[in-house]
């Protein structure tokens, strides 16, 4: 194997120089972090599952006209993507109160929002990814007005599509994070969807039981992280028994038992 040039290593992924100009290889790690990397750990097999889920979601979004950086999946942990200039904003789309908005505004977790809410956070771990307004974005020239129009329009379309996609498999899309980048063609650029979409950046709740099927299981020490990620992939039709770890056969009833906790004692 030829030695590859590492371009960047983040909390959940590594970026390597791609085989052709304008391309990058994106490698998905099993590392898990929370609270701006204050909490660290590992979720076994997470990188494999996130690679498959993100490929699936990005491919389906492309079918409805959302431009993305995704080109193709290379293997179990790697994707070939287009090189973009990342816009330094995390775009959070919220349908239900959970996480930081519940803490900031005192809204009970699980309370449906009056309408879909889009929030913007400045990407800087050292500052704790602070919440910013569109006025901040314009003032510091992080994105132009035209780019923000494209970002907000795409965010709403992505949300509408993903809400339906997950509802069809009995999952409630509570909120999720998006990142966008500029793809250059000479002196011109356009905004396209970048990064990943997976249980790392989405809050996904079972619509029947309310079980959390996302990284909140790691954040809140609930356990069952591996089973939760695999359950999402299985419902999306992406995971078969042979896709599990060596010598491991995925048992859905066992996963649900671990997610829900021990059964009540019989009286």
Please name which of 195, 189, 172, 246 lies closest in space to residue 15, comparing C-alpha atoms. 195
pTM of the model: 0.88
pLDDT in tens, 187-212: 899 999 999 999 999 999 999 999 99
What are the DSSP E strand ranges found in the chain?
6-9, 13-17, 23-28, 31-34, 39-42, 70-73, 78-82, 85-86, 89-96, 112-122, 131-132, 171-185, 188-194, 202-206
* Structural contact between residues 25 and 4, judged by C-beta atoms closer than 8 angstroms: yes
Q: Given a cut of 80, is residue 234 above it in pLDDT?
A: yes
Q: How confident is the model at residue 34 (pLDDT cuts 50, 70, 90)?
A: confident
> What's the gap between Cα 16 and its chain centre?
20
Number of Cβ atoms within 10 Å of the Cβ of 101? 20
Lowest mean pLDDT among 53-62, 191-200, 207-216, 252-261: 252-261
Please name which of 235, 193, 260, 258 lies closest in space to residue 49, comparing C-alpha atoms. 235
Q: How far apart are CA 199 and CA 10, in angstroms?
A: 17
Q: How far apart are CA 178 and CA 193, in angstroms?
A: 8
Q: How far apart are CA 69 and CA 213, in angstroms?
A: 26
Please name which of 24, 79, 21 lies closest in space to residue 55, comparing C-alpha atoms. 79
Instruction: Please tell me the predicted confidence (pLDDT) of residue 39.
Output: 86
Average pLDDT over residues 244-258: 41
Q: How far apart are CA 203 and CA 155, in angstroms?
A: 16
Q: Given a cut of 70, is residue 243 above it in pLDDT?
A: no
- Domains observed in the chain: 85-206 (3.30.470.20)
Lowest mean pLDDT among 11-20, 190-199, 253-262: 253-262
Q: How confident is the model at residue 247 (pLDDT cuts 50, 70, 90)?
A: very low
Question: What are the angstrom distances between the C-alpha of 136 and each of 89, 143, 189?
Answer: 11, 10, 22
**Token match 């599509």: residue?**
161
């Amino acid at each position: 194997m030829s030695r590859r040039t590492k371009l960047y290593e983040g909390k959940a992924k590594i970026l390597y120089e791609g085989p052709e100009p304008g391309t990058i290889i994106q490698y998905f790690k099993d590392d898990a972090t929370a609270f701006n990397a204050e909490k660290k750990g590992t979720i076994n097999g997470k990188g494999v599952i996130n690679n498959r889920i993100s490929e699936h979601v990005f491919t389906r979004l492309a079918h409805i006209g959302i431009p993305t950086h995704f080109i193709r999946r290379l293997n179990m942990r790697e994707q070939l993507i287009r090189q973009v200039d990342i816009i330094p904003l995390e775009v959070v789309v919220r349908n239900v109160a959970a996480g930081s908005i519940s803490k900031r505004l005192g809204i009970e977790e699980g309370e449906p929002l009056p309408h879909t809410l889009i929030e913007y956070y400045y990407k800087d771990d050292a500052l704790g990814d602070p919440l910013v307004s569109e006025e901040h974005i314009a003032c510091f020239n992080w994105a132009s007005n035209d780019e923000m129009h494209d970002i907000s329009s795409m965010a709403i379309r992505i949300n509408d599509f993903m809400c339906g996609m997950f509802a069809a498999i009995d999952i409630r899309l509570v909120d999720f994070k998006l990142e966008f980048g500029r793809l250059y063609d000479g002196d011109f650029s356009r905004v396209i969807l970048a990064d990943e979409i997976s249980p790392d950046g989405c809050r996904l709740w079972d619509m029947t039981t309310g079980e959390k099927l996302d990284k909140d299981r790691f954040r809140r020490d609930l356990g069952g992280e591996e089973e939760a990620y695999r359950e999402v992939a299985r419902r999306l039709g992406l995971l078969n028994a042979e896709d599990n770890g060596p010598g491991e056969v995925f048992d859905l009833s066992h996963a649900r038992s671990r997610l829900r906790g021990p059964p009540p004692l019989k009286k």
